[in-house]
Protein backbone atom coordinates (compact mmCIF):
# COMPACT_ATOMS: atom_id res chain seq x y z
CA UNK A 1 0.00 0.00 0.00
CA UNK A 2 2.74 2.44 0.95
CA UNK A 3 4.67 1.66 -2.24
CA UNK A 4 1.63 2.51 -4.40
CA UNK A 5 1.22 5.86 -2.64
CA UNK A 6 4.94 6.50 -3.01
CA UNK A 7 4.78 5.90 -6.76
CA UNK A 8 1.82 8.26 -7.12
CA UNK A 9 3.61 11.00 -5.21
CA UNK A 10 6.77 10.57 -7.29
CA UNK A 11 4.71 10.70 -10.48
CA UNK A 12 2.91 13.89 -9.39
CA UNK A 13 6.21 15.53 -8.48
CA UNK A 14 7.66 14.53 -11.85
CA UNK A 15 4.69 15.92 -13.81
CA UNK A 16 4.61 19.15 -11.81
CA UNK A 17 8.34 19.65 -12.23
CA UNK A 18 8.17 19.03 -15.96
CA UNK A 19 5.37 21.56 -16.45
CA UNK A 20 7.18 24.12 -14.32
CA UNK A 21 10.41 23.74 -16.28
CA UNK A 22 8.70 24.00 -19.68
CA UNK A 23 6.70 27.09 -18.70
CA UNK A 24 9.77 28.81 -17.26
CA UNK A 25 11.86 28.07 -20.35
CA UNK A 26 9.08 29.27 -22.68
CA UNK A 27 8.74 32.59 -20.87
CA UNK A 28 12.53 32.85 -20.55
CA UNK A 29 12.97 32.65 -24.32
CA UNK A 30 10.46 35.39 -25.08
CA UNK A 31 10.89 37.32 -21.81
CA UNK A 32 8.14 37.61 -19.23
CA UNK A 33 7.45 41.25 -20.09
CA UNK A 34 3.80 41.51 -21.15
CA UNK A 35 4.33 43.79 -24.15
CA UNK A 36 7.00 41.59 -25.73
CA UNK A 37 4.82 38.52 -25.27
CA UNK A 38 1.78 40.18 -26.89
CA UNK A 39 3.88 41.54 -29.77
CA UNK A 40 5.39 38.13 -30.36
CA UNK A 41 1.95 36.54 -30.58
CA UNK A 42 0.51 39.21 -32.88
CA UNK A 43 3.51 39.66 -35.20
CA UNK A 44 3.36 36.94 -37.88
CA UNK A 45 6.78 37.73 -39.35
CA UNK A 46 8.45 37.37 -35.99
CA UNK A 47 6.70 34.04 -35.49
CA UNK A 48 7.98 32.77 -38.84
CA UNK A 49 11.50 34.02 -38.10
CA UNK A 50 11.67 32.11 -34.82
CA UNK A 51 10.42 28.84 -36.29
Q: What is the pLDDT of residues 10-28, one digit of tens each?
A: 999 999 988 887 776 666 6
Q: What is the pLDDT of residue 5?
A: 81
**Is the pLDDT at 31 greater than 70, yes or no?**
no
Under DSSP, is residue 43 helix (H, G, I), strand (E, B) or coil? coil
Q: What is the pLDDT of residue 20?
A: 82
Arithmetic mean of pLDDT, 29-50:
61
31 neighbors 37 (Cβ within 8 angstroms): yes
Give the chain's mean pLDDT: 72
Amino acid sequence: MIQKVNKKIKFLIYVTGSLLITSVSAFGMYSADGNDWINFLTNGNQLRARM
